[in-house]
Amino acid sequence: MATRTIAGKTVQVNDEGFMTNPAEWNKEIAVAIAGEEGLPELTAAHWKVIDYCRESSAKLAGKSPTLRQITTGTGVSTKDLFALFPKGPAKKVARIAGLGKPEGCV
């Protein structure tokens, strides 16, 4: 398993750059990954989605929620999710939230 240093902390990642141990995640790591993903600032709306995904993942045996699960669980529309996390919001938010790639994402 590969490791990578993000926000001064060494974490385990897979070959696609997704963290493999959600327990290693913290908000500083989220901010650093968001910057890499082209999001210079995480607003309260971003954190609502990130926090939901982390809570949902814990209930889904560690699996990342799908786009549909995110929109249903947060009440954030698909259009708004794409505005918050452009170009593949489920995959992008999973990466920022320190979770694995959602099933069905290419």
CA-wise closest residue to 53 among 84, 32, 79: 84
What digits encode the pLDDT tens for the residues 29-82? 999 999 999 999 999 999 999 999 999 998 887 889 999 999 999 999 999 999
Report field, pTM of the whole predicted structure over 0.85 = yes
Catalytic residue annotation? 105
Q: Is the pLDDT of residue 106 over 60?
A: no
Q: Whole-angstrom Cα distance, residue 33 to residue 26?
A: 11
Q: Which string of DSSP letters, residue by residue, matches 44-76?
A: HHHHHHHHHHHHHHHHTTTPPPPHHHHHHHH--
Other CB atoms within a 10 A radius of the CB of residue 69 amount to 17
Structure tokens at 42: 């995480």
What digits encode the pLDDT tens for the residues 16-36? 989 999 999 999 999 999 999
Q: Is the pLDDT of residue 105 over 70?
A: no
